[in-house]
């Protein structure tokens, strides 16, 4: 698949926003911090979420019709995500206002946490539900979206705490390390799974001729088509491999070093860069069965 920067930014930014909110929610429920820390944290979370939302509009051919995409929530995970994302943003906003007004925040927190988890599931399932994209069709996909989002959010929380409320910083850094390690293991598991995948579709099933040797001569177009643009990343294998090594280094090991040595802000920036590479690789790695019909041009 061709990685779309709009979708890469959407998924990484809202993942970090959700993770950051969950980190704040944990401190709200089980710890203590001044209201201004929570309000500032919610503001940063909302900026991340809004950034993702804005990025997603660049993916659409008709952004002015985006409101229509809430219609098919019964069947479409994309539609569910479109509904849950603004609901979650509203819940985070309400939770921050409740802190600002010194109100009881327990129920605001419960609702927002449930929406954050629902949003992780929706985002992951958009990809995991496509069964013939075998690299994505696994429970590891929503799990990885959730864990990587939580890890980057906790790193962001550690950075915020170091700046605004230092007593919480060590706990957040420890939690970010734990979540990062867990996310790293789950991502490695997905890589190992996908390395052993055998494509179910072959040229023989694609055109229905039972023969082991089928070579395409022509695809019906000389200058490419939507099918050649949308489903091939078009990068040499070295670039894909470099992206994998980059995210394997940046998603956890390097940020962990910075977290341990007490630099959570560079840790977050490095981890976020790693997540961009991870998401790019996630798309580039997926081999769409339609590509069987677009192997040769002449």
Q: How far is the CB of 197 from other proteins (least distance, A)?
A: 14
Q: Which of 55, 49, 140, 48 is nearest to 86 (CA)?
A: 49
**Residue 159: how many CA atoms within 13 Å on its side-chain side?**
23
- Please identify, using beta-carbon distances, which residue of 195 and 217 lies nearer to other proteins: 217
Distance CA 107, CA 104 (A): 8
- Please identify, using beta-carbon distances, which residue of 51 and 289 lies nearer to other proteins: 289
Q: Are 1 and 39 in contact (CB under 8 A)?
A: no
Please give the residue ranges that form the binding site for other proteins (CB under 8 A): 1, 59-63, 65-66, 68-72, 75-79, 82, 126, 129-133, 200-201, 203, 205-209, 211, 213-227, 230-231, 288-291, 293-294
Q: How far is the CB of 47 from other proteins (least distance, A)?
A: 24
- Annotate 263-284 with DSSP letters as a single string: -HHHHHHHHHHHHHHHHHHHHH
- The two tokens of residue 176 are 């970010």
Q: Are 289 and 201 in contact (CB under 8 A)?
A: yes
**Alpha helix (H) residue ranges in 58-76:** none
Q: Are 267 and 158 in contact (CB under 8 A)?
A: yes
- Please identify, using beta-carbon distances, which residue of 266 and 289 lies nearer to other proteins: 289
- Please identify, using beta-carbon distances, which residue of 71 and 106 lies nearer to other proteins: 71
Q: How far is the CB of 115 from other proteins (least distance, A)?
A: 18
CB atoms within 10 A of CB 76: 17
- Please identify, using beta-carbon distances, which residue of 77 and 108 lies nearer to other proteins: 77
Q: How far is the CB of 231 from other proteins (least distance, A)?
A: 7
133: which DSSP letter? S
188-208 in b/e burial notation, b at 16+ Cβ within 10 A? eebbeebeeeeeeeebeebee
- The two tokens of residue 60 are 């659409």
Q: How far is the CB of 119 from other proteins (least distance, A)?
A: 15
Q: Are 5 and 52 in contact (CB under 8 A)?
A: no
Q: How far is the CB of 59 from other proteins (least distance, A)?
A: 6
- Please identify, using beta-carbon distances, which residue of 32 and 230 lies nearer to other proteins: 230
Q: How far is the CB of 4 from other proteins (least distance, A)?
A: 8
Q: Are 188 and 253 in contact (CB under 8 A)?
A: no
- Please identify, using beta-carbon distances, which residue of 183 and 286 lies nearer to other proteins: 286
């Amino acid at each position: 698949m061709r990685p779309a920067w709009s979708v890469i930014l959407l998924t990484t930014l809202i993942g970090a926003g959700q993770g950051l909110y969950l980190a704040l929610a944990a401190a709200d429920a089980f710890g203590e911090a001044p209201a201004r820390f929570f309000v500032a944290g919610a503001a940063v979370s909302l900026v991340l979420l809004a950034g993702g939302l804005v990025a997603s509009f660049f993916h659409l051919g008709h952004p002015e019709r985006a409101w229509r995409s809430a219609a098919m929530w019964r069947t479409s995970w994309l539609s569910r995500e479109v509904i849950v994302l603004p609901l979650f943003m509203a819940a985070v906003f309400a939770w921050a206002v409740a802190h600002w007004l010194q109100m009881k925040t327990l129920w605001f927190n419960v609702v927002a946490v449930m929406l954050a988890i629902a949003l992780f599931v929706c985002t992951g399932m958009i990809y995991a539900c496509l069964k013939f994209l075998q690299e994505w069709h696994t429970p590891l996909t929503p799990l990885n979206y959730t864990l990587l989002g939580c890890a980057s959010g906790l790193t962001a929380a550690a950075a915020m705490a170091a700046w605004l409320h230092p007593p919480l910083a060590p706990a957040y850094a420890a939690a970010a390390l734990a979540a990062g390690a867990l996310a790293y293991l789950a991502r490695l598991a997905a890589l190992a799974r996908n390395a052993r995948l055998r494509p179910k579709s072959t040229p023989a099933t694609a055109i229905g001729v039972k023969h082991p040797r089928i070579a395409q001569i022509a695809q019906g177009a000389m200058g490419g088509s939507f099918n050649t643009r949308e489903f091939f990343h078009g990068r040499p294998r070295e670039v894909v491999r470099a992206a994998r090594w980059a995210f394997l280094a940046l998603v956890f090991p390097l940020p962990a070093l910075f977290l341990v040595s007490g630099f959570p802000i560079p840790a977050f920036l490095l981890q976020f860069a790693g997540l961009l590479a991870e998401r790019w690789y996630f798309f580039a790695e997926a081999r769409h069965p339609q590509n069987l019909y677009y192997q040769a041009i002449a």
